[in-house]
Structure 1
Amino acid sequence: MIFGKRKRSIVRLLVVEDEPLVAFDTEYLLREQDYEIVATVDRVAHALAILNEASDIHLVLADLGLADGSGLEVARVAGEHGVPVMIVTGHCPPEAEGMAMGCLIKPYAPRDLLAAIRVIEDVCEGSRPRKLPSGFRLFSRELPGKADSAAAS
Protein backbone atom coordinates (compact mmCIF):
# COMPACT_ATOMS: atom_id res chain seq x y z
CA MET A 1 0.00 0.00 0.00
CA ILE A 2 1.90 3.01 -1.24
CA PHE A 3 -0.55 5.86 -0.65
CA GLY A 4 -3.31 4.20 1.36
CA LYS A 5 -3.74 4.13 5.10
CA ARG A 6 -2.46 1.07 6.85
CA LYS A 7 -4.82 -0.89 9.04
CA ARG A 8 -4.34 -0.01 12.69
CA SER A 9 -3.97 -2.61 15.39
CA ILE A 10 -4.48 0.03 18.10
CA VAL A 11 -7.96 1.49 17.77
CA ARG A 12 -9.65 1.32 21.19
CA LEU A 13 -8.07 3.43 23.94
CA LEU A 14 -8.69 4.03 27.61
CA VAL A 15 -7.68 7.56 28.65
CA VAL A 16 -6.84 8.03 32.34
CA GLU A 17 -6.34 11.75 32.97
CA ASP A 18 -7.39 13.97 35.89
CA GLU A 19 -6.90 17.36 34.22
CA PRO A 20 -10.25 18.09 32.52
CA LEU A 21 -8.86 20.25 29.71
CA VAL A 22 -6.10 17.75 28.87
CA ALA A 23 -8.62 14.89 28.97
CA PHE A 24 -11.02 16.78 26.68
CA ASP A 25 -8.29 17.77 24.21
CA THR A 26 -6.87 14.23 24.13
CA GLU A 27 -10.26 12.65 23.57
CA TYR A 28 -11.15 15.16 20.85
CA LEU A 29 -7.82 14.69 19.04
CA LEU A 30 -8.03 10.92 19.12
CA ARG A 31 -11.65 10.81 17.94
CA GLU A 32 -10.76 13.16 15.08
CA GLN A 33 -8.07 10.65 14.07
CA ASP A 34 -10.62 7.79 14.08
CA TYR A 35 -9.58 6.23 17.36
CA GLU A 36 -12.34 4.88 19.56
CA ILE A 37 -12.28 6.02 23.18
CA VAL A 38 -13.53 3.22 25.42
CA ALA A 39 -13.70 5.70 28.32
CA THR A 40 -12.02 8.78 29.71
CA VAL A 41 -11.69 8.55 33.49
CA ASP A 42 -9.95 10.56 36.18
CA ARG A 43 -9.62 8.01 38.97
CA VAL A 44 -7.64 4.80 39.45
CA ALA A 45 -10.72 2.96 40.72
CA HIS A 46 -12.69 3.76 37.56
CA ALA A 47 -9.81 2.75 35.30
CA LEU A 48 -9.37 -0.58 37.11
CA ALA A 49 -13.09 -1.32 36.88
CA ILE A 50 -12.99 -0.74 33.12
CA LEU A 51 -9.85 -2.83 32.67
CA ASN A 52 -11.44 -5.69 34.62
CA GLU A 53 -14.69 -5.52 32.59
CA ALA A 54 -13.57 -4.69 29.03
CA SER A 55 -11.68 -7.25 27.01
CA ASP A 56 -10.94 -5.23 23.92
CA ILE A 57 -8.83 -2.27 25.01
CA HIS A 58 -5.79 -1.85 22.75
CA LEU A 59 -3.90 0.87 24.65
CA VAL A 60 -4.11 2.76 27.93
CA LEU A 61 -2.91 6.37 28.13
CA ALA A 62 -2.29 6.95 31.84
CA ASP A 63 -1.40 10.07 33.76
CA LEU A 64 0.39 9.35 37.03
CA GLY A 65 -0.95 11.85 39.54
CA LEU A 66 -4.60 10.95 40.07
CA ALA A 67 -6.89 11.95 42.94
CA ASP A 68 -7.22 8.43 44.34
CA GLY A 69 -3.76 7.04 43.58
CA SER A 70 -1.14 6.58 40.91
CA GLY A 71 -1.45 5.75 37.25
CA LEU A 72 1.28 3.18 37.92
CA GLU A 73 -1.40 1.00 39.54
CA VAL A 74 -3.44 1.32 36.35
CA ALA A 75 -0.34 0.37 34.33
CA ARG A 76 0.30 -2.67 36.54
CA VAL A 77 -3.24 -4.00 36.13
CA ALA A 78 -3.30 -3.24 32.40
CA GLY A 79 -0.07 -5.23 32.04
CA GLU A 80 -1.68 -8.17 33.85
CA HIS A 81 -4.41 -8.06 31.20
CA GLY A 82 -1.86 -7.84 28.37
CA VAL A 83 -2.85 -4.27 27.48
CA PRO A 84 0.02 -1.93 26.55
CA VAL A 85 0.34 1.34 28.46
CA MET A 86 1.79 4.71 27.60
CA ILE A 87 2.45 6.92 30.62
CA VAL A 88 1.60 10.55 29.87
CA THR A 89 2.94 12.82 32.61
CA GLY A 90 5.13 15.79 33.45
CA HIS A 91 7.88 13.64 34.99
CA CYS A 92 8.25 9.92 34.43
CA PRO A 93 9.61 7.99 37.42
CA PRO A 94 12.07 5.12 36.89
CA GLU A 95 9.60 2.50 38.17
CA ALA A 96 7.32 3.24 35.20
CA GLU A 97 9.79 1.45 32.93
CA GLY A 98 8.78 -1.98 34.21
CA MET A 99 5.06 -1.27 33.86
CA ALA A 100 4.62 0.61 30.59
CA MET A 101 5.90 0.54 27.05
CA GLY A 102 6.85 4.18 27.04
CA CYS A 103 6.39 7.63 28.48
CA LEU A 104 5.33 10.87 26.79
CA ILE A 105 6.25 14.00 28.71
CA LYS A 106 3.67 16.78 29.15
CA PRO A 107 3.16 19.22 27.68
CA TYR A 108 3.26 17.55 24.29
CA ALA A 109 2.20 18.52 20.79
CA PRO A 110 -0.78 16.61 19.36
CA ARG A 111 1.42 15.23 16.55
CA ASP A 112 3.79 13.79 19.19
CA LEU A 113 0.95 11.96 20.95
CA LEU A 114 -0.20 10.46 17.65
CA ALA A 115 3.36 9.53 16.69
CA ALA A 116 3.97 7.91 20.10
CA ILE A 117 0.84 5.78 19.66
CA ARG A 118 2.14 4.69 16.24
CA VAL A 119 5.51 3.77 17.78
CA ILE A 120 3.82 1.57 20.38
CA GLU A 121 1.69 0.02 17.64
CA ASP A 122 4.84 -0.71 15.60
CA VAL A 123 6.55 -2.32 18.59
CA CYS A 124 3.46 -4.43 19.37
CA GLU A 125 3.49 -5.63 15.75
CA GLY A 126 7.17 -6.52 15.95
CA SER A 127 8.48 -3.60 13.89
CA ARG A 128 11.37 -1.38 14.79
CA PRO A 129 10.37 2.29 15.15
CA ARG A 130 12.18 4.59 12.75
CA LYS A 131 12.12 7.72 14.87
CA LEU A 132 10.77 8.58 18.30
CA PRO A 133 8.62 11.69 18.66
CA SER A 134 9.75 14.63 20.75
CA GLY A 135 9.32 14.02 24.48
CA PHE A 136 8.68 10.28 24.08
CA ARG A 137 10.81 7.59 25.65
CA LEU A 138 10.34 3.97 24.60
CA PHE A 139 10.98 1.55 27.46
CA SER A 140 10.59 -1.89 26.02
CA ARG A 141 10.08 -3.84 22.86
CA GLU A 142 7.61 -6.20 24.54
CA LEU A 143 4.56 -5.88 26.71
CA PRO A 144 5.28 -5.73 30.45
CA GLY A 145 4.31 -9.05 31.99
CA LYS A 146 4.67 -11.08 28.77
CA ALA A 147 8.28 -12.08 29.48
CA ASP A 148 7.25 -13.20 32.98
CA SER A 149 4.36 -15.30 31.68
CA ALA A 150 6.55 -16.81 28.93
CA ALA A 151 9.20 -17.77 31.48
CA ALA A 152 6.60 -19.42 33.70
CA SER A 153 5.33 -21.72 30.91
Structure 2
Amino acid sequence: MPEPQTLLIVEDDPFIAMDMETEFSDRGYRVVAVAQTVSAASAILEHSAPDFAILDYNLGDDTSVLIARKLNEADIPFVFVTGRPDAVASDEEAPDAPIYCKPVNFDEIEKTHLAN
Protein backbone atom coordinates (compact mmCIF):
# COMPACT_ATOMS: atom_id res chain seq x y z
CA MET A 1 0.00 0.00 0.00
CA PRO A 2 1.54 3.36 -0.99
CA GLU A 3 2.25 6.04 1.56
CA PRO A 4 -0.39 8.78 1.68
CA GLN A 5 0.49 12.13 0.19
CA THR A 6 1.80 14.58 2.75
CA LEU A 7 0.34 18.05 3.11
CA LEU A 8 1.39 21.31 4.72
CA ILE A 9 -1.44 23.65 5.70
CA VAL A 10 -0.63 27.31 6.31
CA GLU A 11 -3.69 29.00 7.80
CA ASP A 12 -3.92 31.56 10.59
CA ASP A 13 -7.55 30.91 11.55
CA PRO A 14 -7.45 27.96 13.95
CA PHE A 15 -11.00 26.82 13.14
CA ILE A 16 -10.38 26.79 9.38
CA ALA A 17 -7.01 25.09 9.91
CA MET A 18 -8.61 22.41 12.08
CA ASP A 19 -11.37 21.88 9.52
CA MET A 20 -8.83 21.54 6.70
CA GLU A 21 -6.64 19.18 8.69
CA THR A 22 -9.60 16.96 9.60
CA GLU A 23 -11.06 16.95 6.10
CA PHE A 24 -7.81 16.05 4.35
CA SER A 25 -6.89 13.46 7.00
CA ASP A 26 -10.32 11.87 6.59
CA ARG A 27 -9.67 11.71 2.85
CA GLY A 28 -6.49 9.70 3.41
CA TYR A 29 -3.81 12.40 3.25
CA ARG A 30 -1.19 12.87 5.96
CA VAL A 31 -1.03 16.43 7.23
CA VAL A 32 2.61 16.85 8.29
CA ALA A 33 2.04 20.23 9.87
CA VAL A 34 -0.29 23.16 10.28
CA ALA A 35 1.41 26.55 10.51
CA GLN A 36 -0.27 29.80 11.48
CA THR A 37 2.62 32.15 10.66
CA VAL A 38 5.26 32.66 8.01
CA SER A 39 8.03 31.91 10.51
CA ALA A 40 6.38 28.66 11.64
CA ALA A 41 5.88 27.54 8.03
CA SER A 42 9.49 28.42 7.19
CA ALA A 43 10.76 26.36 10.12
CA ILE A 44 8.66 23.39 9.00
CA LEU A 45 10.04 23.61 5.46
CA GLU A 46 13.60 23.54 6.83
CA HIS A 47 12.95 20.03 8.19
CA SER A 48 10.38 18.51 5.85
CA ALA A 49 9.28 18.59 2.24
CA PRO A 50 5.57 17.92 1.91
CA ASP A 51 4.11 16.63 -1.33
CA PHE A 52 1.66 19.54 -1.50
CA ALA A 53 0.81 22.73 0.40
CA ILE A 54 -2.31 24.77 0.97
CA LEU A 55 -1.65 28.42 1.76
CA ASP A 56 -3.92 31.08 3.14
CA TYR A 57 -2.72 34.31 1.53
CA ASN A 58 -3.35 36.66 4.47
CA LEU A 59 -1.64 35.62 7.67
CA GLY A 60 -2.42 38.36 10.16
CA ASP A 61 -0.40 41.40 9.08
CA ASP A 62 1.69 39.28 6.70
CA THR A 63 1.15 37.21 3.56
CA SER A 64 2.25 33.72 2.62
CA VAL A 65 4.21 34.93 -0.42
CA LEU A 66 7.58 34.05 1.16
CA ILE A 67 6.37 30.51 1.79
CA ALA A 68 4.98 30.31 -1.75
CA ARG A 69 8.39 31.28 -3.11
CA LYS A 70 10.15 28.67 -0.97
CA LEU A 71 7.71 26.01 -2.16
CA ASN A 72 8.17 27.13 -5.75
CA GLU A 73 11.97 26.92 -5.45
CA ALA A 74 11.68 23.42 -4.00
CA ASP A 75 9.27 22.30 -6.76
CA ILE A 76 6.55 21.59 -4.23
CA PRO A 77 3.12 22.27 -5.71
CA PHE A 78 0.72 24.46 -3.77
CA VAL A 79 -2.50 26.42 -3.97
CA PHE A 80 -3.68 29.61 -2.34
CA VAL A 81 -6.97 29.43 -0.45
CA THR A 82 -8.15 32.89 0.51
CA GLY A 83 -11.03 35.18 1.14
CA ARG A 84 -9.28 37.81 -0.99
CA PRO A 85 -8.44 36.26 -4.36
CA ASP A 86 -8.02 39.73 -5.89
CA ALA A 87 -5.17 40.48 -3.49
CA VAL A 88 -3.31 37.32 -4.51
CA ALA A 89 -3.87 37.89 -8.21
CA SER A 90 -2.58 41.46 -8.02
CA ASP A 91 0.47 40.65 -5.87
CA GLU A 92 3.39 40.77 -8.30
CA GLU A 93 5.64 39.05 -5.73
CA ALA A 94 3.40 35.97 -5.49
CA PRO A 95 4.40 33.02 -7.65
CA ASP A 96 1.79 31.76 -10.07
CA ALA A 97 -0.44 29.18 -8.42
CA PRO A 98 -4.08 28.24 -8.45
CA ILE A 99 -6.26 30.46 -6.26
CA TYR A 100 -9.31 29.11 -4.46
CA CYS A 101 -11.85 31.18 -2.56
CA LYS A 102 -12.98 30.40 0.94
CA PRO A 103 -14.96 28.50 2.00
CA VAL A 104 -12.66 25.68 0.95
CA ASN A 105 -13.91 23.40 -1.82
CA PHE A 106 -12.15 20.22 -0.72
CA ASP A 107 -13.53 18.15 -3.59
CA GLU A 108 -12.18 20.54 -6.22
CA ILE A 109 -8.72 20.79 -4.65
CA GLU A 110 -8.49 17.03 -4.29
CA LYS A 111 -9.76 16.27 -7.80
CA THR A 112 -7.59 18.88 -9.48
CA HIS A 113 -4.34 18.76 -7.50
CA LEU A 114 -4.06 15.62 -5.39
CA ALA A 115 -3.71 12.07 -6.62
CA ASN A 116 -4.52 9.71 -3.81
Could you state the TM-score of these two structures normalised by the residue count of structure 2? 0.83
Matched, 1:114 2:110: no
Matched, 1:104 2:100: yes
CA gap of 1:67–1:59, structure 2 versus 1, over 3 A, is same
Structure with the larger RCO, 1 or 2 (CA within 8 Å, 6+ apart): 2
CA distance in 2, matches of 1:91, 1:8: 36
Pick the structure with greater CA Rg: 1
Q: Corresponding residue for 1:63?
A: 56
Task: Please tell me the root mean square deviation across aligned C-alpha atoms, in Å.
Answer: 2.5
Q: Corresponding residue for 1:127?
A: none
Structure 1: runs of 5+ lacking an equivalent? 1-6, 123-153
Contact 2:7/2:29 (CA < 8 Å) preserved in 1?
A: yes
Could you state the TM-score of these two structures normalised by the residue count of structure 1? 0.64
Q: Aligned to 2:33, which of 31, 36, 39? A: 39
Q: Corresponding residue for 1:88?
A: 81
Q: What are the superposed Cα offsets for residues 24-82 of structure 1, whole Å, 9 maximum, x if unpaired?
A: 11101111111100101100011111112213x11110001113621111111111111
Structure 2: runs of 5+ lacking an equivalent? none
The secondary structure found in structure 2 opposite 1:99 is coil
Matched, 1:26 2:20: yes
Identity %: 27
- Count of paired positions: 112
